[in-house]
Amino acid sequence: MPASTGESEEEATGRLGERVRQLDPWYHTLDLGEGVVTEGMFDLRPLVDRYGLPDVTGKRVLDVGTFDGFWAFELERRGAEVTSLDLDRIQQLDWPPRLRPAEDRGRGETFRLAHAALGSSVERVGCSIYDATPEDLGGVFDLVFCGSVLIHLRDPMLALERMAALCADRLILAEEHSRRLAPFAFVRGAEFRGDSPWSTWWIPTVQTWLRMVHTAGFEDVRKHGRFDMSFRAQRGGVPHVVIHARGPVR
């Protein structure tokens, strides 16, 4: 983060570190430079290579559900022109009714702090993926990236349909998949988790995710890989599948 007038670099770093602590909890672990690292619930840095990111130099990229901005900043670092989507108010989230909080407050402050600290040019747009259109976002995107978002949506199929309309070339989707239903590979199903405490609606199987992406209009849908995403320092992890696809034929 740039130092204010009359402020030393050391003082600026201290100010940034203090602001990071004030905004806890963070969802993403982010290296903001000068030794300042956010203590995110999920540290995705060791997992980046598992997603199979293509060369995005000079490409137009959409990051769906950016939260603190890890993927938006990573894709920008790789040379992309990035637009990130997320909601601006707590009450706009797709809450299961029994979990919806009574209060409302703003969202995006952690993203804005990281954006300033990194000197980023990512454009954050306050918008639900349900409402996102090429007309509102300045056209379609070479890459649509969506990581760990759809399980938190009441209507993941509508979200995938909107992403298909925004995708000119490639989709990368990474989502939790059901281990419990994995033995029933012949069944295209999903666990209902709307009554869980994690604001999660659905946990589909890997095969169900693949069929959902294809049904939304994407082509050449394939499983790129699987991995477990650790929650902070806990053992084990959340099983994720990475799916690659091509945008609809136009």
Of 188, 111, 200, 198, the closest CA to residue 154 belongs to: 200
Q: 17-46 pLDDT, tens per residue?
A: 999 999 999 999 999 999 999 999 999 999
With respect to residue 98, please indicate whether it lies within any of the assigned structural domains.
yes
With respect to residue 200, please indicate whether it lies within any of the assigned structural domains.
yes
Token pair for 141: 């995107």
Complete DSSP assignment for 84-146: EEE-SBGGGS---GGG--S---B--HHHHHHHHHHT--PEEEE--GGG--TTTTTS-EEEEEE
Q: How far is CA 87 from CA 6, 59, 107, 130, 229, in A?
A: 36, 24, 7, 11, 24
Mean pLDDT for 112-141 is 98
With respect to residue 203, please indicate whether it lies within any of the assigned structural domains.
yes
With respect to residue 69, please indicate whether it lies within any of the assigned structural domains.
yes
CA atoms within 13 A on the CB side of 49: 1
Q: What is the pLDDT of residue 56?
A: 98
CA atoms within 13 A on the CB side of 122: 37
With respect to residue 184, please indicate whether it lies within any of the assigned structural domains.
yes
With respect to residue 100, please indicate whether it lies within any of the assigned structural domains.
yes
Q: Can you give the residue range of the structural domain that contains 233? A: 55-246
With respect to residue 195, please indicate whether it lies within any of the assigned structural domains.
yes
Q: What is the pLDDT of residue 1?
A: 57
Q: What is the pLDDT of residue 3?
A: 57
Q: What is the pLDDT of residue 86?
A: 98
Q: 189-215 pLDDT, tens per residue?
A: 999 999 999 899 999 999 999 999 999
With respect to residue 13, please indicate whether it lies within any of the assigned structural domains.
no
Q: How confident is the model at residue 8 (pLDDT cuts 50, 70, 90)?
A: confident
Match 């990071």 to its residue by tokens.
Answer: 20
Instruction: Write the Ramachandran bin of 243: left for phi over 0, alpha for psi from -120 to 50, otherwise beta.
Output: beta
| CA 43 to chain centroid | 13
User: In the predicted model, is pLDDT for residue 235 greater than 90?
Assistant: no
Q: 82-118 pLDDT, tens per residue?
A: 999 999 999 999 999 999 999 999 999 999 999 999 9
Q: How confident is the model at residue 179 (pLDDT cuts 50, 70, 90)?
A: very high
Q: What is the pLDDT of residue 139?
A: 98
Alpha helices in 78-205 (DSSP H): 109-118, 156-166
Cα–Cα distance measured from residue 238 to residue 110, given in angstroms and rounded to the nearest whole number? 24
Q: CATH number of the domain at 174, please.
A: 3.40.50.150
Token pair for 74: 């990573």
Q: How confident is the model at residue 79 (pLDDT cuts 50, 70, 90)?
A: very high
DSSP-based three-state secondary structure for 172 = strand
- The domain tally of the chain equals 1
Mean pLDDT for 120-146 is 98
Cα–Cα distance measured from residue 134 to residue 142, given in angstroms and rounded to the nearest whole number? 12
